[in-house]
Amino acid sequence: MIPLLEIQGLSKYFDGLKAVSDFHLALPKDELAGLIGPNGAGKTTVFNLITGLYEPGAGTIRFDGQDILRLKAHQITKLGIARTFQNIRLFNELTVLDNVRAAYHGHLEYGLVPAILRTPGFQKKEKELTQKAQELLKIFNLSARQNEVAKGLPYGEQRRLEITRALATNPKLLLLDEPAAGMNPAEVRQLMELISWVRSEFDLTILLIEHQMQVVMGCCERVVVMDFGEIIAQGTPKEIQTDPRVIEAYLGKEI
Amino acid sequence: MIALGYTMVYGIVRLINFAHGDVFMVGAFLAYYAISYFQLSLPVAMIVSMAGCTLLGVTIERVAYRPLRRAPRIAALITAIGVSLFLEYFCSLKFVFGPDYLSFPRPFEVTTWEWAGINFSNIQVIIFAVAIFLLVLLQYIVHHTKMGKAMRAVSFDHDTARLMGINVDSVISFTFGLGSALAAAGGCLYGIAYPQINPFMGIMPGLKAFVAAVLGGIGIIPGALVGALIMGIAEVLTSAFISSTLRDGVAFGILILVLMVKPSGILGRKSGEKV
Amino acid sequence: MKNTPWFIYLLILLFPYAAIYGLIQGGIINPYWEHIIQYAIIVFISSLGLNIIYGYAGQFSLGHAAFFGIGAYTSAVIMKALETENYIIFVLVLFLGAAVAGLVAFLIGLPILRLRSDYLGIATLGFGIIVKVALDNFDRLIPMMGGSRGMSGIPKLTNFTVTYVFGALAILFLRNFVFSSHGRACVSIREDEIASQAMGVNTIRYKTVAFVMGCFYAGLAGGLYAHLYVFLHPSNFDFLKSFDPLLIVVLGGLGSISGTLLAALGWTFFLEGLRVILPSQILDWRMVIYPVLLIAVMLLRPQGLFGGREFGFLKPKEKDAAAR
């Protein structure tokens, strides 16, 4: 069984500063894995390398058997990798509906000329697109706000919208970057349920970065721990909880 | 020298002060009036002009740029363009400086010497000397005074600087004032070298100074000098060997090349966006 | 809610045309003002082009006047060379001029569009100056262009009907583009280029599309301009002239067709009105008021008149079936 995502020897340097070094991961399909580590450990950098937002460093990244290291970000998204961002990056001035519709662009089925001439073909596809977007919004309980401007949404719903938007790209792999940031315990519980539900409903493989341990321990089947750009431990939540290297990374060496 | 002012302001406020070239223009005019009407000697006139422009620069910053400090960069740029246009057209109104060319007085005789087959004039020597003097002075201020330290801190991060007890507003005002004084000095020197001055004279030098600042690395002070030298040489060579009418085009061709190849400039540092 | 029925569109289009045309024929609008009205529409088309580039795609371009000039000179040279007054050929030549502007935009866009917004502004400004210098010297290659002496003898073929039709088409074209997935791709780039890429938008392609489209509009407007004023001089197209469409777009509201329309018309008539009202001594104040206005807008209402909104009849109505 080839893993859905296979990373080997991934390294990235910024002007001589090591950000990520020899990162490796074999993520099987349908797994829910977590990537944790102290701030600055290189987690988001790994995400950015996978999704093509950074110039590739060294190493290989294979998705569904295909080498994606040198592909551009939008091409990688079209292959089926979607993500959310640590600091929410919504299309602020656009409506909730348009935020989601914009994400359907990668699966576009009409060209420039039909759009401008408003051919029946265009109108039909546009209607389908809108309907799909609206259905997605309904699932995530955002329908009531569909015509509101995104920046006006409360924080929790903005995070939800970001996840909704990511799902509109029809991904096989979903990368969530600190989805629980800024949430209170009740919201975190809701998020955990949402993530599990999304995984089964949309047949997804999920890799998430989180600092809130209850999310990681509660949801993830496997956890990878990073520090200073390197992997220091990998295993089930229970295993890494008691791993001395992990404890040292978070709490410092015992005196 | 205009480039120096540009680079300083950009380094601190990340603003391309379009109006900088026009401060240069005002500086030239102030010196003109100082010499013609008040019979002041050249060095004094220069100081008067620099003082006047400092005031002008600080005022512009207060009125037009400060309210927009949190706004997107483009808003500030557009406003800078507005200030620039305003200065140009306001000064061409008849009761201000008037739209025509005025002859800048030359309070001393021009003498030329020859050395190693090249002709020098005392004008060029004076310009060079003043420029070096101001550059050294500027370096001193930035690296060896408290205010200079504050300027460098603010150029890294406004909010952190504020937390450290630095009055960011005064620092920015000071920077603008300093930059404007430099521009004024440039204006006076320009007036001596090219005796015709008019309200629109600041546009081209202003833009070229910007190119020079970018070329050398925007926000890096010695870079402005490097950039300006390269631009000057390139322009003269183009005039001499290709055609003088293409001169302006060369300046901007260089700009586009630099922006494509190394946007941070020759001596500059990269600054990336955090994802 | 249904889409606005097409005959309402037609009415909205035809009514102002018929009204103004009637007034012109009846002599109520004199030739001077007829000229101004056409000029206003030309300014509108050009500004709309900048709105595509800056308002919709978020790319700050300060070289717009250069493309206006490229379109103007290209179409003028061809029409003068062909020595014909045939309107069909005229329209084709206008498109040709615009296409050349678009092509140049494509070529310069390849390297430039990678730049960040304020650097892009300066690069386009620089390009604009290069074009002006080129226009000054082009008479060495094509003597007809006159270089810095200017080009004259262009046939006066632009009239109210032609201008109006192009204006209407410009609106229609853009409106259909904007309210489609391609338009959404552009605004997503404006809002957050990184997120846009992550959502599958080929940002390089769409920035280029927007830039080429916008410069095409400028080139078209330039062609109309050339055949209205029948005299061209490179100083008409220097970088200062790029600030006019910028002011209009900012004033009217980025990403709003209606805003650009109102601002373009308002700006033209305002400047003309000042010319009429102000006695000749303080005529120069016109150009002082203009930048003050720009600064005031940026300080007080940076989103412009219309923000991102449109007149209702321009927007397609959504069928909100699944929402209930």
Q: What is the DSSP string of C178-218?
A: HTSHHHHHHHHHHH-HHHHHHTT--HHHHHHHHHHHHHHHH
Parent domain of B148: 2-106+122-202
Task: Flag the least confident range among A144-148, C244-248, C299-303.
Answer: C299-303
> Is pLDDT at B105 greater than 70 in this prediction?
no
Interface-testing mutation among B252, B258, B271, B274, with chain C (most C C-beta atoms within 10 A): B252
Q: Residue C23: in which H helix or E strand, if any?
A: helix C6-25
Contact C176 A92 (CB under 8 A): no
Size of interface A-C (CB pairs under 8 A): 119
Cβ contact C123–B259 (<8 Å): yes
One-letter amino acid for residue C152 of the chain: S
Classify strands A58-63 and A5-14 as parallel, antiparallel or unpaired. Answer: antiparallel
Question: What local confidence, expressed as pLDDT, does residue B38 receive?
Answer: 58
A141 Cβ contact partners less than 8 Å away, ≥ 6 residues apart? A160
Q: Look up the ipTM and state it.
A: 0.86
Question: Which residues of chain C neighbour A91 with C-beta distances below 8 Å?
Answer: 187-188, 191-192, 195-196
In this prediction, residue B15 has a pLDDT band, given cuts at 50, 70 and 90, of: very low
Residue of B67, B245, B251 lying closest to C136 (CB–CB): B245
Decide if B257 touches C, using CB distance below 8 A: no
DSSP string, C223-292: HHHHHHH--B-GGGGSGGGGHHHHHHHHHH-TT-HHHHHHHHHHHHHHHHHHHHHS-GGGGGGHHHHHHH
| pLDDT value, residue B117 | 52
Give me the residue spans of the domains in chain A.
Answer: 1-80+171-255, 92-168
Q: Is residue B17 over pLDDT 70?
A: no
Q: Is the model's pLDDT at B46 over the cut of 80?
A: no
Task: Report the CATH number of the A1-80+171-255 domain.
Answer: 3.40.50.300
Q: Give every CB contact of residue A50 below 8 A, 6+ residues apart in sequence.
A: A5, A7, A61, A68, A76, A81, A175
The predicted structure's pLDDT at residue A253: 54
Using the Cβ of A181 and the Cβ atoms of chain C, whether some distance falls under 8 Å is answered with no
**Residue recorded with tokens 């190693």:** B116
In this prediction, residue A247 has a pLDDT band, given cuts at 50, 70 and 90, of: confident
Give the model confidence (pLDDT) of C188-226 as tens digits.
Answer: 999 999 999 999 889 999 999 999 999 999 999 999 999
CB contacts < 8 A (B, C):
116
Pairing of β A205-209 and β A173-177: parallel
Chain B residue numbers touching C60 (CB-CB < 8 A): 74, 77
The answer to whether residue C134 neighbours chain B at the CB level (below 8 Å) is yes
B contact test, residue of C130, C137, C235 with most B CBs within 10 A = C130
**Partners of chain B (3+ Cβ pairs below 8 A):** A, C
pLDDT number for residue B4: 55
The stretch B113-141 carries a mean pLDDT of 67
Q: Which residue has the higher pLDDT, B37 or A216?
A: A216
> What residues of chain B lie within 8 A of the CB of C243, using their CB?
81, 85
Q: Which residue of A has its CA nearest to C321?
A: A131
Under an 8 A CB cutoff, do B275 and A15 touch? Answer: no
Q: Which of residues 119-178 of A touch C (CB under 8 A)?
A: 122, 126-127, 129-131, 134-135, 137-138, 143, 146, 165-166, 168-169
Predicted pLDDT at C172: 87
> How many CB pairs lie under 8 A apart between chains A and B?
8
Say whether A44 and B275 touch across the interface (CB within 8 A). Answer: yes
Distance from CA of C304 to the nearest CA of B (A): 11
Give mean pLDDT, residues B66-78. Answer: 69
Q: Stretch C235-247: mean pLDDT, rounded?
A: 86
The mean pLDDT value for C225-250 works out to: 87
Confidence of residue B1 (pLDDT cuts 50, 70, 90): low
C136 or B134, which is more confident = C136
Sorted by sequence, the CB contacts under 8 Å of residue B67 that are 6+ apart come out as C299
Report which of B167, B208, B180 is spatially closest to residue B27, judged by C-alpha positions: B180
Q: How many structural domains are present in chain B?
A: 1
Helices (H), B61-106: 73-91
| Alpha-carbon gap: A69 to the closest alpha carbon of chain B (Å) | 18
C15-47 burial string, b = 16+ CB within 10 Å, else e? eeeeebbeebeeeebeeeebbbbbbbbbbbbbb
- The predicted pLDDT at position C157 comes to 83
Q: What is the pLDDT of residue C240?
A: 80
Do residue C176 and residue A94 have CB atoms under 8 angstroms apart?
Answer: no
pLDDT surpassing 70 at residue C68: yes
Give the mutation candidate from A84, A86, A93 for the C interface (greatest C CB count, under 10 A): A93
| B252 Cβ under 8 Å from any chain C Cβ | yes
Q: What is the mean pLDDT of the segment spanning A150-178?
A: 91
Q: How confident is the model at residue C235 (pLDDT cuts 50, 70, 90)?
A: confident
Whether C303 shows a pLDDT value over 50: the answer reads yes
* C195 CB within 8 Å of a chain A CB: yes
Chain B contact residues (CB < 8 Å to A): 270, 272, 275
Q: Do B189 and B200 touch, CB atoms closer than 8 A? A: no
Residue C53 pLDDT more than 90?
yes
pLDDT grade for B11, boundaries at 50, 70 and 90:
very low
In this prediction the pTM is 0.84
